[in-house]
Amino acid sequence: MDARINFFGNGLAGKVMRHLNSAGKAVAPALPVPTQELVKIRASQINGCGFCTDMHTKDAAAAGETQLRLNLVATWREATVFTDAERAALELTEQGTRIADSSTGVTDDAWASAAKFYDEDQLAALISLIAIINAYNRINVINRQPAGDYQVGMFG
């Protein structure tokens, strides 16, 4: 499978990616790394983005995430290996990613649950991270970016 265009070699696409990368760097200090990777993995799974799922499972493992937790991200509701704070972030991620599936977007219950564990800056970071990973997912899915060849650190 080949990508529709060489997105990583295209000048305009490179500008867009630099801005998305900068936004991701801005939110990174506000949230624990495991939470960030769980959010990125879950949104990528929902959106069917193989490239991002490959990237973020590998990045999470390199950062010390266990294989057990990585295996259970898609079934986090039934798994006992996630903290209540992580569960709240995963619920917010799912609802924020599937925003069109509900007439209210993200429910008040999901928001209240996240607000129990995260302060205002962290909530802003979660909202932003969910939006950013969804943007990356859409770019890669639309472009049919192949998955499986990502190497940790290959994008600097």
What CATH code is carried by the domain that includes residue 27?
1.20.1290.10
Q: Count the domains in the chain.
A: 1
| CA-angle at 134, arms to 110 and 3, nearest 5° | 155
| Average model confidence (pLDDT) across the chain | 96
- CA torsion 141→123→89→138, rounded to 10°? 0
* Mean pLDDT, rounded, for 149-153: 93
- CA torsion 20→8→46→92, rounded to 10°? -10
Rounded Cα gap, residues 10 and 8, in angstroms: 6
In a domain, 61, yes or no: yes
Residue 139 has pLDDT above 80, yes or no: yes
* Mean pLDDT, rounded, for 101-105: 87
- Lowest mean pLDDT of 32-46, 60-74, 94-108, 110-124, name the range: 94-108
In a domain, 153, yes or no: no
In a domain, 115, yes or no: yes
Nearest CA to 92 out of 48, 57, 125 is that of 125
Output DSSP code: residue 84.
Answer: H
In a domain, 152, yes or no: no
In a domain, 1, yes or no: no
* Mean pLDDT, rounded, for 13-42: 96
Q: What is the three-class DSSP state of 99?
A: helix
In a domain, 27, yes or no: yes
Rounded Cα gap, residues 55 and 2, in angstroms: 17
* Mean pLDDT, rounded, for 21-47: 97
In a domain, 24, yes or no: yes
Residue 7 has pLDDT above 90, yes or no: no
In a domain, 17, yes or no: yes
Output DSSP code: residue 77.
Answer: T
pLDDT of residue 102: 84
Show the domain range for 102: 7-143
